């Protein structure tokens, strides 16, 4: 495990697994990047109370509409900015990280490399809730690789 910096985020990560994600993500369209980041967040096992935030339904509905071609990049970007503002104003570190993950997932519609940052925030949540739990981080990154490879194989 290495401390890795993703923008300003310092995480204990599995660099080889993250690198493997980047290799595949580099070949993805923005739509596939959004699909990957969204699936990674939706599959992430966190406290059920996080799913009760009304904005999460708005995010999921907007992503679904985007993937069906009914939402433009501008709306995704605006919602991303709204989510990042919620993160900025949240006093709880887990809530902030969860919102940041969603904000970057949405921003992947504009720049696909935001998808890896979304998954980095999931690693950060693991780091916060289970410090020094290398096996939990490895399991998370392995699952993310399964997701990304499934999307890649369905091209």
pTM above 0.75, yes or no: yes
Average pLDDT rounded to a whole number, residues 133-140 = 96
pLDDT of amino acid 155: 76
Average pLDDT rounded to a whole number, residues 8-25 = 93
Q: Residues of 96-106 as b/e, b for ≥16 C-beta within 10 angstroms?
A: bbbbbbbbbbb
pLDDT of amino acid 5: 44
pLDDT of amino acid 52: 60
pLDDT of amino acid 86: 92
Mean pLDDT lowest among 11-15, 44-48, 127-131? 44-48
For 53-90, write each residue's pLDDT tens digit. Answer: 778 889 999 999 999 999 999 999 999 999 999 999 98
pLDDT of amino acid 51: 53
Q: Give the count of alpha carbons within 13 A of 59, CB side only.
A: 30
pLDDT of amino acid 49: 58
Average pLDDT rounded to a whole number, residues 95-112 = 94
Give the residue extent of every domain in the chain. 2-153
Residue 126 vs residues 45, 84, 100, 102, 104: alpha-carbon distances, Å: 10, 20, 14, 16, 17
Q: Which positions ≥6 away from 153 have C-beta within 8 Å?
A: none
Average pLDDT rounded to a whole number, residues 39-60 = 78
Banded model confidence at residue 6, pLDDT cuts 50, 70, 90: very low
pLDDT of amino acid 8: 66
Rounded Cα gap, residues 12 and 3, in angstroms? 4
Rounded Cα gap, residues 63 and 57, in angstroms? 10
């Amino acid at each position: 495990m290495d401390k890795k910096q993703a923008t300003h985020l310092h995480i204990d990560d599995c660099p080889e697994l993250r690198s493997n994600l980047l290799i595949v993500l580099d070949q993805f369209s923005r739509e596939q990047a959004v699909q990957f980041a969204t699936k990674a967040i939706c599959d992430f096992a966190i406290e059920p109370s996080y799913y009760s935030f009304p904005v999460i339904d708005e995010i999921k509905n907007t992503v679904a509409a985007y993937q069906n071609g009914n939402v433009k990049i501008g709306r995704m970007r605006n919602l991303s900015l709204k989510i990042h503002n919620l993160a900025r104003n949240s006093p709880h570190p887990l809530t902030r990280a969860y919102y940041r993950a969603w904000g970057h997932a949405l921003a992947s519609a504009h720049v696909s490399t935001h998808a890896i940052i979304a998954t980095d925030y999931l690693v950060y949540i693991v780091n916060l809730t289970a410090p020094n739990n290398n096996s939990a981080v490895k399991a998370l990154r392995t699952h993310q690789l399964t997701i990304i490879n499934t999307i890649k194989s369905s091209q």
